[in-house]
Amino acid sequence: MRNMPPVLAISMGDPAGIGPEVILKSAAMLSKRRGTPAIVVAGDLGAMRLAADSLRGAPKLFEWHPGDKPIPLKRGVNVWPLTRLPARSIRPGHPSVTSGAAAFEYVVAGAQMAMHGEADALVTAPISKEWMNRAGHHYPGHSELLAELGHARKWRMMFAGGEVRLALVTVHLGLAKVSAALNPTLVLDTIRLLSAHLRTLEGLKRPRIAVLGFNPHAGEHGMFGDEETRAIEPGIRRARRAGIDVFGPLAPDTAFIRTGGKFKFDAAVAMYHDQGLIPLKTLEFDRAVNITLGIPFIRTSPDHGTAFDIAGKGIAVPSSMIAAIEYAARTASRRDRGMIIGKSLT
């Protein structure tokens, strides 16, 4: 394990959103702690300065370029000025095609830093999917873009908070399409990716994983649909044969009930976006972290969006961004002891 703190790349997100603000607030708080990572923000120096000017106690900003040694966080935040946007394009709360295109550029640059070994992990500040798509970059979200950049054939979205960890079998897919998409291989691969991550990067020797059903009461033995018997149960059986401690399918409406204040599992697998994100955000809002499984580098992000309605007002809460930075730094340090992410599914 390295003796030096990790270097984290942070893509700045949409210049008109709260990304610059929550990055600076997080850096200011983390700089007071021991072993803080060095941070390189792939973004726009003007947008970062605008946010810093509106915040009391904002860290000093340093211009950084590839090949430079990152300045430790306790001294300030490194900014790689990928764009030099005009003032009209960095107005908080006023997104545009220009800001959407810039946000895309920051993500690509941050991912390249992580893949080329210039950073130990990537943390992504919020982007606007609408404005990124209007700018001609047609992706449902960060995860799909990062999977393409990392040439990842099998990837999943995971979320982690203080109480709940879960992964999604399907991600940005309309609910009407989920049933047809589900199959045993998708379920199995999600379980295997989640298990591998928990063991290698969270230090759980034998994580216990619960799998949610798709239908009310987990199908009630086929009364309400065949997704459980057709896709979910076969995937669970195959995972068990691979040596994974997994059980289910559980009725989704009772899966997150705690006994004695604890869940009966270390992590859960949900079949679709809202099935997993509703309980997660109910329990963990402002502190949950989004992690992309299966790509060849560590990537985390806060669990909130661009919040254009409060951008520039100085009231954005940085707790989820702090959690994303801490999770990335912690798992990057653990990775130094072993596995390269995405090389093993079991």
What's the predicted TM-score (pTM) here?
0.91
pLDDT at 220: 67
**Are 1-155+294-346 and 156-285 the same fold in CATH?**
yes
Contacts of 261 (CB under 8 A, 6+ apart): none
> Does the domain spanning 1-155+294-346 belong to CATH 3.40.718.10?
yes
Of 260, 307, 265, nearest in space to 286 by CA: 307
**Cα 104 from chain centre:** 16
- For 82-116, b where at least 16 C-beta lie within 10 A, e where not — what string? bbebeeebbbbeebbebbbbbbbbbbbbbbbbbbe
Distance CA(255)–CA(263), nearest Å, equals 9
Helix axes 45-53, 19-30, angle to 10 degrees: 70
Q: Where are the domains of the chain?
A: 1-155+294-346, 156-285
pLDDT at 2: 52
CA distances from 159 to 136, 167, 190, 239 (A): 28, 6, 13, 21
CA distances from 173 to 92, 141, 252, 274, 287 (A): 30, 11, 19, 10, 25
Of 23, 41, 21, 18, nearest in space to 93 by CA: 18
> Does the domain spanning 156-285 belong to CATH 3.40.718.10?
yes
Per-block average pLDDT, block size 10, for the chain (346 residues)? 80 97 97 90 97 93 95 94 93 96 98 96 97 96 94 95 93 92 97 96 94 83 82 97 96 91 94 94 89 96 94 94 95 66 40
pLDDT at 91: 94
SS3 content of the chain, % helix, strand, coil (to 5): 40, 20, 45
Sheet strands (E) in 86-135 = 121-124
